[in-house]
Amino acid sequence: MFFKHVYEPGLAQASYILGCQATAEAIVIDPRRDIDVYLEIAETEGLTIRSVAETHIHADFLSGSRELAAATGAEMLLSDEGGPDWQYRFAHIGLHDRDEFWVGNLKFEVLHTPGHTPEHISFLLSDTAAGEYPVMLFSGDFVFVGDIGRPDLLEKAAGLLNTKEPGARQMFQSLKRFTVLPDYVQVWPGHGAGSACGKALGAVPSSTVGYERLLNWALQIEDEALFVQELLTGQPEPPTYFAMMKKLNKEGPEIVGGIPYPARLSLTRFQKLLQDGVRLVDTRDKFAFAGGHIPGSLNIQDNGDFSTWAGWMLDYKEPFMLVAGEGRIEDLTKALIRIGLDNVIGYIPDLNNWSMAGHELEILEQLSAHELFERLAQAEVYIVDVRNQSEYDESHIPGAIKIQAGQLPDHIADLPIGKPVVVHCLSGDRSSVAASYLQSQGHKHVINLTGGIRCWWEADYPLERAEKREQVIA
């Protein structure tokens, strides 16, 4: 048996390619949309991709199943569980609980494991050339390392009301099927640490049923009501683009037929697009951006969180441009199409031509923790904490208002126009996104707290907890 774990750290997303070397056939499970990695692996190993399978209708990335099927002629094996509202809207081979399918000598048994979503399935693999016993479970967003899939995404991100508690109860029942599997069965989940699909995902790529039975918090709770309460408590805010991913993955993502490459824009063309109101995303690091940027641009740094913040802050219906180095365009484009942002129309590699043409740059003012403490004493600033709710609840700067960075577009009217607004997160990355967005929307008195609340902690300045102050927006 051939096995390869393919991991995309920007979305903390795992996919898998498995092959029967006796028949040279392969299957890909939960592929991402930029499929070149699977094609290259198959070619290197002398395998032909015959099947593509998914564990569920994904919310955090755009599926590559249709893309891979179009490129290889592979059959698509997708869930037909969950009822009429949870059916894929494009042609596929439907899978149900206890179905079996084969890839050469590899036998896959389908387990319906609802909870994260109603249609969710997992794949139990037996390598029959070695023995009849199951050896691996591809659990998707059902069971992670140290955690389980959250059932509240449908309600929070997709707006499907009254689904989180029924989903939690379904998860409780699904876990009973998991716990009766042999201890030695390997568990290969759909995500790792950093994913918003759970609240405590482990950093190691895989586990076993026995290990999870011993140490996974969710498998230690025997009372269903307590389980539901614990599962729904403390989940991170889901990015708003999750609702779009659900819709596109259900209806069938557009087949792009390869990785698009945005055009390098001339100064004349770039100026015209800016005048037409096309959004500019500056991917340079936060310090370079703060030192000087084109007015109206949005700072989404070229780092591991690029995809997530692009999904949070960009409009799927509107075109946009990038400031990005020549050598980064292909990787950034891949990161964008993984979440369905196909509408990048061009880029400039730096700000040199813009500056040399006589245009002024805008700066993002920085404030130290000591300076903020002094200005707070004089009531000169308005503080916006853009961290997650759980971080804010643990401790925050006195008087700070909580608006999660990705939710700023919904709360722009809640902020004062004339008073300086100090934005902060933990260390400065999220606040640079937030501050740049506020600047782009006409807030000229925007200041970033250098080093974030971490520097405030180190200076031993006062803190509050959420239960002592109820000034929270979003």
Look at the block and give the residue holding tokens 């300086």: 420
Q: What angle do CA 429, 238, 176 make, to 5 degrees?
A: 130
455 given a catalytic annotation: no
Contact yes or no for 118/169 (Cβ under 8 A): no
Closest CA to 19 of 64, 51, 60, 65: 51
The residues annotated with a catalytic role in the active site are 425
